[in-house]
């Protein structure tokens, strides 16, 4: 069975925006690193979903280091790693967390809208 990415928007989630301070408060174990990662947030009722992907800077660094990676890992493994990095959604190469705390979500979203 192969992996198929299903968009959270298809499941009734709505896209949301969280500033860095709010992200660090809601996800204390997943600190916000803008040079390393890119985040997508979705809300649905009391649920807040966060998907974490590699940033464009990581992808550029991987391309620049590809000759060294080819020498150390070989062409097939380097190709597979590059494809996993550039097509994270379709290959399942990302991580995500879900928080279910209705009061926290409401306070975060109302403070975010008032700014």
* pLDDT(115) > 50: no
Helix ranges, the chain (H): 20-26, 56-64, 66-73, 75-86, 88-91, 102-114
Burial (Cβ within 10 Å: 0-12, 13-18, ≥19) of residue 93: middle
Contact yes or no for 26/104 (Cβ under 8 A): yes
Can you give the pLDDT at residue 10?
Answer: 93
Please count the other Cβ atoms lying within 10 Å of the Cβ belonging to residue 19: 13
Q: In sequence order, what are the residues at sequence separation of 6 or more whose Cβ sits closer than 8 angstroms to the Cβ of residue 100?
A: 46, 47, 48
Tens of pLDDT, residues 51-105: 999 999 999 999 999 999 999 999 999 999 999 999 999 888 888 888 887 777 7
């Amino acid at each position: 069975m192969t992996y198929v990415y299903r968009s959270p928007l298809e499941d009734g989630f709505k896209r949301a925006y969280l500033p860095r301070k709010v992200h660090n408060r809601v996800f204390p174990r997943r600190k916000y690193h803008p040079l390393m990662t890119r985040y997508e947030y979705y809300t649905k009722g009391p649920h807040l979903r966060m998907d974490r992907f590699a940033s464009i800077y990581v992808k550029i660094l991987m391309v620049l280091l590809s000759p060294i990676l080819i020498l150390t890992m070989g062409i097939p493994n380097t190709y597979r790693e590059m494809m996993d990095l550039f097509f994270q959604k379709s290959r399942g190469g990302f991580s995500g967390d879900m928080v279910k705390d209705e009061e926290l979500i409401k306070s975060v979203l109302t403070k975010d809208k008032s700014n």
